[in-house]
Amino acid sequence: MSTSIATTSYEPLTEETAIAYIEKLNQKLGLFPAPSLLLCKEIGDGNLNYVFHLSDSLSGQSLIIKQALPYAKVVGESWPLTLRRAKIEAEALQKAAETVPSLVPNVIHTDDDLAITIMEDLSDYTILRKGLIDGETYPNLGRHIGIYLAKTIFHSSPFGESQQEIKEISVRFTNPELCKITEDLVFTDPFFDHDTNDFEDHLKDTVNELWKNEELKLEAAKLKYTFLTKSEALIHGDLHTGSVFVTAEETKVIDPEFAFYGPAGFDLGLFIANILLNTISKTAIDEQQHSDLYQTITETVEVFKEEYKKLCQNHHVEAFIQTEGYVDYMLATIFEDAVGFAGCELIRRIIGLAHVADIDNISDCQKRLCAQKNALELGSTFILKRRNFRTIHQLIQETKDVLK
Amino acid sequence: MSTSIATTSYEPLTEETAIAYIEKLNQKLGLFPAPSLLLCKEIGDGNLNYVFHLSDSLSGQSLIIKQALPYAKVVGESWPLTLRRAKIEAEALQKAAETVPSLVPNVIHTDDDLAITIMEDLSDYTILRKGLIDGETYPNLGRHIGIYLAKTIFHSSPFGESQQEIKEISVRFTNPELCKITEDLVFTDPFFDHDTNDFEDHLKDTVNELWKNEELKLEAAKLKYTFLTKSEALIHGDLHTGSVFVTAEETKVIDPEFAFYGPAGFDLGLFIANILLNTISKTAIDEQQHSDLYQTITETVEVFKEEYKKLCQNHHVEAFIQTEGYVDYMLATIFEDAVGFAGCELIRRIIGLAHVADIDNISDCQKRLCAQKNALELGSTFILKRRNFRTIHQLIQETKDVLK
C-alpha cells in the first residue's frame, strides 16, 4: 500500500491536516470503524520527524503517523536530510516483519511523497533508554534482541538468501546520506580534533591522549573501513537503546532509518555499547542493576548465536555451510566486529556530537567524569583487544575490571 | 552518447545490418569521412558476443562493433544472460578511461537497446593468452597491469572516493547475473561433486582428495564469502589473460562485463593465477620463459603497491590515511585476498567448467596431467597459506618449489 502524490506535494503535517489526511485514507482503507471521532496530538521531539498520535474517541482505536522532516537539527543546524529515509525506514520495518513480526511495529500504510509511515500505536511501551535510566529491568529483552539480530541478519545474508536477491535488496537500501552521518560521527570525527565534537573541558587531557594513540587510531580506521565496505546483511544501522520500545514483557525495535547492507556485527555492537553506557552510569553499589544489565547482554549474544546456528542448520542456501568450523568462524567474526563497533560507540558517545542521557544526566560532576573516563577506557580496550574477546563473558569481565 | 531504441527492438546484427547501422550513425557522429566504402567482418567467437570489424576502404579507418547475445553458450547450453552486461561493460571501460585512458580501448558510442558498444579497433593487438602460449614476452605488461590495478582500485575505493559517490557507482554496477557465474564456477562447484565440473579421468583421485579436504574447503568458503560481501572497489571481475590485449609495447584491458563493487584483491589474484597457469604449462627447461613470467608478476605486484602508495599520499579522501601502518595494512590485506583468489582460480581452471588453453593444449598426456596436478597443488597451497605469503617473492618461491 503506497499512495503516490507528486513530489512537490511534500509539506509538513499539522495536527489538523493529519486528521484530514487520515479521514480521507479511512474511506479507502477502513482504518477506523464509522462513525469515528478523531483526536490528534504531536508527540515527537521534532528534531528529525513529526510523530502524531491519532485516536478515535468512539472506538478507542489509535495509530501513529510518522513524518520525516527534510532536515536534522540534531546533527547540525539546518543539516538537510533526505526524505527518502522515511521510505527506507518503512521498508526496513516491513522487511523485518517478514522474519520477526512480533519484534517490530506493524506498518499500516506508507506515503513516499509526504514521507509518511502510518503504524501501530505503541503508546503503552517505554523507550528502553528511559526505562533503563529509571532502573527498570526487562527480563525478556536479551532474548528478544538476540532473536531479532539472528533472524534479520541470517535471512538477509548469503547464508540465508541468494546473492541475486541480496543485490536487489541492497540497491533498495542504498542509504548514502545516513551512512555518511555514521561514518563521520561514529568513525571519524571522535578520533580527530574535529569541530563536530562535543566533550566536557575536564576530559581535555584524556581526549588529547586518545587522539595521539596511533595504535587505537589504526584499529578504529580498520573498523571504519569494515563499516564502509563489508556488505554482509541488511542491518538496522542505529540500534541504540533509543531505538527500542519495551514493556515488561514485549520488545519492539523501531526507527530503522539508517538501514543498509552493512557489517553483520554492527547492530549487536551498538546495542551492547548502549547497555554498557547505562551500566557505566550506575554506581558500583547498584550491584543488582549491573548484574541485570550484564545478564541482558549475555542473553542477547547467546540467544543470537544459538538462533543463528539453528537457522544455518535448517534454512541455509550455502553449499559450504556444513564445512567443519564455518558457522563458528562466522559467529566469531561477527562477534569480533561487534566488540570493535561497541568500542567506537562508547567513545563517540563521550567525545562526539551525539551523547546519551544515561551519562549526561549524571548530575554529580565527579561521578560524571568518572563515567566518561570509564566509557573511553572501555571503548579503547574493546577496539584494541577485540580479537582477544572470544566470549561475552570475557567482555563482561573486562568491563567489571574497568569499572572497579 | 547513447542511442535509445525501444527494448523490443533488440535483434542480433549481421555483417550487412552492421554496415547499415554504422552508415546511419555516421551521418550523426561523423565516424568516417565522406565518402566512405564500408566493409564488415564478424570476428568474434560467437559464444557470448558478436564482434564486427568495420573498416572504410577509402580512408583506411576502422572500428569495432561489439554486440552482446542474450545467452552464454560457454556456461551451459542456452543459459540466458542479461543484455545489460553490454551497458556494464561499456560503462566500466568509460570509468576506467577516467584514470587509465591508455590501458583500455576507447569507447566511441553505446546503444543500450541493441546491447552494442562501438569502440576503438585493436586488430593490431594480440590476446595475451595466445601471445603467452606462443612464447612471446611483454616487458611492459607487469608495469601496465600494476598501474591499471592501482588506479582503478584506489579511485573507486573509500581511500580515493567519497562514500556517497561509491554508493551511487555501486548501484550502477550491480551485476547479479554475472557475479552468480563467478560465485558458482569459481567458488562453489569446483569444491563439490557438481555437474558443471569438467576434469579429466586421470585426475579423479586427486580431485576426490581435494573434495575431502575440510581445511581447504573452509578457507575456500571464506574466500567465497569475501567475494560475495567485500565491496571495496569497482573491479574488472574477470581479469584473466584472455581479457588483455597486447602488443610488444602496449597493453589494453578489455571485456569488463563482470565489473561490480567487489574485493580489491580479486583482479590481481586472477591475473597472477592466469600468468601462473601459463608458467605451469611450460616445461621446466623453458627457464628463460619462466623467469620472464615471474618477472611480469613481480612487476605487477610491486608497481601496484608503489602506485597505490603514491595515490594514498597525494589523492586520498580518508582522514585516517596518515595513521601509522594503515596503508601497509591495506596493501597486505589486498595481497592476502589476491593470493587466496589466485588459488581458487588455479583450481577451478582444472576442475571446473571453464578451462584455459594454456593447459588443455598440452598434447602430451603425462605432461598435461603433471601440469594439472601442479595447478591443483599450487592452488590449494595459496588458499591455505595465503596469510603466510607477505611478498610476491615468497609466492614465486612457493611456485618454484611446487614446479620442481
On whether the CB atoms of residues A237 and A89 are closer than 8 A, the answer is no
The answer to whether residue A10 is domain-embedded is: no
User: A189 exposed, middle or buried (CB, 10 Å; 0-12, 13-18, 19+)?
Assistant: buried
* CB spacing of A228 vs B158 below 8 angstroms: yes
Q: Per mean pLDDT, which range of A2-11, A313-322, B167-176, B239-248 is the poorest?
A: A2-11
Mean pLDDT, all residues of chain B: 95
| A183 in B contact zone (CB under 8 Å) | yes
B140 and B103 share one domain: no
Instruction: Say if A333 is an interface residue toward chain B (CB within 8 Å).
Output: no
Residues of B in contact with A232 (CB under 8 A): 229
Task: Choose the closest CB to B229 out of A188, A232, A324.
Answer: A232
Write out A313-342 in H/E/C secondary structure: HHHCCCHHHHCCCHHHHHHHHHHHHHHHHH
> What DSSP character marks residue B6?
-
pLDDT score, position A288: 92
At A283, the pLDDT band (50, 70, 90 cuts) reads confident
Same domain, A228 and A308: yes
CA distance A233 to A244: 20
C-alpha angle B305-B310-B313 in degrees, rounded to nearest 5: 125
Contact A164 B174 (CB under 8 A): no
d(CA B283, CA B204): 23
Cell of B142: 607487469
Query: CB distance B230–A231 less than 8 Å?
Result: yes
Judge if A293 and A366 occupy the same domain. yes
CA dihedral sign, ordered B315, B318, B323, B324: negative
Q: CB B176 to CB A191 under 8 A?
A: no
Contact A171 B171 (CB under 8 A): yes
> How far is the C-alpha of A303 from the C-alpha of A151, rounded, in Å?
11
Does any domain span residue B7? no
**Among B171, B214, B230, whose Cβ lies nearest the Cβ of A229?**
B230
Note whether residue B1 is domain-resident: no
Tell me if A263 sits within 8 A of A232, measured CB to CB.
Answer: yes
How many domains does chain A fold into?
Answer: 2
**Mean pLDDT for chain A overall:** 95
Does the CB of B227 have a partner CB in chain A at under 8 Å?
no
- Residues A323-332 have pLDDT tens digits of 999 999 999 9
pTM tops 0.80? yes
Whether B218 and A324 lie within 8 Å, measured CB to CB: yes
Residue B348 annotated as binding site: yes
Whether A226 and A317 share a structural domain: yes
B323-345 average pLDDT score: 98
Which percentage of chain A shows pLDDT scores above 90?
91
Q: Which of A120, A154, A173 is the last residue of a domain?
A: A120
Give residue A77's pLDDT band: very low, low, confident or very high (50, 70, 90). Answer: low
d(CA A196, CA A260): 24
Q: Does one domain contain both B162 and B77?
A: no
Do the domain assignments include residue B9?
A: no
Are B58 and B87 within one domain? yes
Provide, as residue numbers in chain A, all residues whose Cβ is less than 8 Å from the Cβ of B319: 188, 191-192
The alpha-carbon gap from A74 to the nearest alpha carbon of chain B, in Å, equals: 21
**In this structure, is residue A6 part of a structural domain?**
no
Report yes or no: B164 at the A interface, CB cutoff 8 Å: yes
% of chain A residues with pLDDT over 70: 96
Sequence-separated (6 or more) residues with CB below 8 Å from residue A191: A210, A211, A216, A217, A220, A347, B319, B320
Residue A66: phi, psi to the nearest 5? Answer: -110, 130
Inter-chain Cβ pairs, chain A and chain B, closer than 8 A: 96
Is the minimum CB–CB distance between B6 and chain A shorter than 8 Å?
no
Any domain includes A3: no
Residue B283: pLDDT band with limits 50, 70, 90: confident
Same-domain status, A108 and A55: yes
Q: Give B326→chain A minimum CA distance, Å.
A: 6
> How far away is chain A from the Cα of B162, in angstroms, using its nearest Cα?
9
Mean pLDDT of A279-294: 91
Shortest CA distance from A230: residue in chain B: B230
Who wins on pLDDT, A9 or A120? A120
Cβ within 8 Å, pair B221-A323: yes
Question: Do A323 and B231 lie within an 8 Å CB cutoff?
Answer: no
CA pair distance B154, B89, nearest whole angstrom: 19
pLDDT over 60 at B2, yes or no: no
* B291: closest CA of chain A, how far (Å): 37
What is the distance in angstroms between the Cα of A38 and the nearest Cα belonging to chain B? 42
Name the pLDDT band for A2 (thresholds 50, 70, 90).
Answer: very low
Strand partners, B253: B244
Cα dist from B383 to A212, B216, B302, B346, whole Å: 38, 7, 21, 10
Residue range B275-283: mean pLDDT, rounded: 95
Quick one: closest CA in B to A324, which residue?
B214
B100 and B239 belong to one structural domain:
no
Do both B93 and B185 map to the same domain? no
Boundary residue ending a domain (B95, B120, B145) = B120
Do residues A35 and A78 both lie within one domain?
Answer: yes
Provide mean pLDDT across the span A240-260.
Answer: 97
Per-residue pLDDT, B80? 81
CA distance A215 to chain B (A): 8
* B191 touching chain A per CB within 8 A: yes
A179-182's contacts with Cβ under 8 Å and 24+ in sequence apart are A179/A228, A179/A237, A179/A258, A179/A260, A179/A262, A179/B163, A179/B167, A180/B163, A180/B164, A181/A72, A181/A75, A181/A258, A182/A227, A182/A237, A182/A238, A182/A258
Report the CATH number at residue A94: 3.30.200.20
Type and span of the H or E element at B10: none
Chain A residues 282-321 within an 8 A CB cutoff of chain B:
318-320
Residues of A annotated in the binding site for ATP, as ranges? 49, 66, 120-122, 255-257
Q: What is the pLDDT of residue B285?
A: 78
CB B108 within 8 A of CB B118: yes
Q: How far apart are CA A172 and CA A339, in angstroms?
A: 28
Total Cβ atoms within 10 A of residue B287:
10
Q: Flag whether B58 is marked binding.
A: no
Q: For residue A290, what is the domain's CATH number?
A: 3.90.1200.10
pLDDT (0 to 100) of residue B74: 62
B54 inside domain: yes
Residue B230 lies in a domain: yes
Predicted ipTM of the assembly: 0.95
Nearest CB to B214; choose among A231, A319, A324? A324
Same domain for B132 and B271?
Answer: yes
Q: Write out pLDDT tens, residues A154-203.
A: 999 999 999 999 999 999 999 999 999 999 999 999 999 999 999 999 99
- Can you give the residue range of the structural domain that contains A369? 126-403
What's the pLDDT at A74?
62
Q: Which of A89, A120, A151 is the last residue of a domain?
A: A120
Does the beta carbon of B324 lie under 8 angstroms from any beta carbon of chain A?
yes
Band the pLDDT of A48: cuts 50, 70, 90.
confident
Q: How confident is the model at residue A79 (pLDDT cuts 50, 70, 90)?
A: confident
Of A143-147, A381-385, B5-9, B143-147, give the lowest mean pLDDT range.
B5-9
For residue A191, give the chain B residue with the closest CA: B320
Contact A188 B220 (CB under 8 A): no
A38-42 β-sheet, strand order: A2-3, A107-111, A116-120, A62-68, A49-56, A38-42
Asked if residue A135 and residue A280 are part of one domain, the reply reads: yes
